[in-house]
Amino acid sequence: MSKINSIGILTSGGDAPGMNAAIRAVTRAGIFAGFRVFGIFRGYKGLILDEIEEFSTQNVSNIIQRGGTILKTARCKEFTTPEGRQCAYDVMKRRGIDALVVIGGDGSLTGARIFGNEFSLPIIGLPGTIDNDLYGTDSTIGYDTALNTIMECVDKIRDTATSHERLFFVEVMGRDAGFLALNGALASGAEAAIIPEISMQVDQLGELIGHGFRKSKNSSIVLVAESPVTGGAMGLAQRVKEEYPDYDVRVTILGHLQRGGSPTAFDRILASRMGAAAIDALLDDQRNVMIGIRNDEIVYVPFTKAIKNEKRVNPQKLEVLRRLSI
């Protein structure tokens, strides 16, 4: 393996609170290790278009507390083509960038894996996504902040739900993963969580109504993962109106509120540890691995496992939620 003298950092896909803390950590740990560090703006698109700037420690001062990403992020169809990746590689060679640190979710790390294999590049991934759906890590950067945002929003919604004795469906993000919905329901004291992992097996709405889950309540809140598998909050509300017309139903879709805001202490610490670990991985001649955290210990997870293996929700949490909703 050739010696690494300089590294590039980019953020890709959906933004997540804590990405800036990760950028800061990679930059400063990289400079500490003797690397030149380049910030690549707008993800893979910026790599292709050569939107690159050399970073010093001052470039990442006063950003640990900021949400979003100072490097910006963008979708890039060109990078899904061999021609686009060849262009990105040519830019790296022209700039003298020997390795990449990619901060993003499964789509971003999939692109990193393909790119790294095609050109034999050392690439390290950091799991930056609020969905917490990457295998091999207990938590992803941004997940804890999004979870706290959901909890705070549901606390406010409950005031209205209780005042009007209504059933509220609150839709949260997560795509095909129910981690935000399930843990958000536990944290906010919601009556139930409807998640894609279970919707594929049973009719969760039918079970909830059938078990009379409102008998002892004057209001109810149900968190719903946005996945098409669950039908989403709007779809479930329509079902209730048609099948259970006695219920007064309202819907709140939290949307991009969950992506924003200052990262929690947990996410700042996690991003800082993972960013420093990315530099350690490069110094250790690692490539095509994602930095993860398991039982509070840093681990290296091959891209293939992080992307392809399914991360499962904890069934014990579902049981706790069911028992506490009486």
Determine whether 144 is an active site residue: no
Q: What are phi and psi of 289, to 5 degrees?
A: -130, 150
Q: Which residues of 239-267 are buried (b: 16+ CB within 10 A; e: fewer)?
A: bbeeeeeeeebbbbbbeeebbebebbebb
117: DSSP letter: H
3-state DSSP assignment of residue 225: strand
In the set 15, 98, 106, 131, the catalytic residue is 131
How far is 24 from 27, CA to CA, in rounded Å?
Answer: 5
CA 274, 45, 121 angle in degrees (round to 5)? 55
Q: How many CB atoms lie within 10 A of CB 200?
A: 11
Nearest alpha-carbon partner for 157 in 237, 88, 252: 252
How far is 93 from 87, CA to CA, in rounded Å?
Answer: 10
DSSP, residue by residue, 37-87: EEEETTHHHHHHHT-EEEE-GGGGTT-TT--S-TT-----SGGGSHHHHHH
Distance linking the first and last C-alpha atoms of the chain: 60
Q: Which residues are catalytic?
A: 131
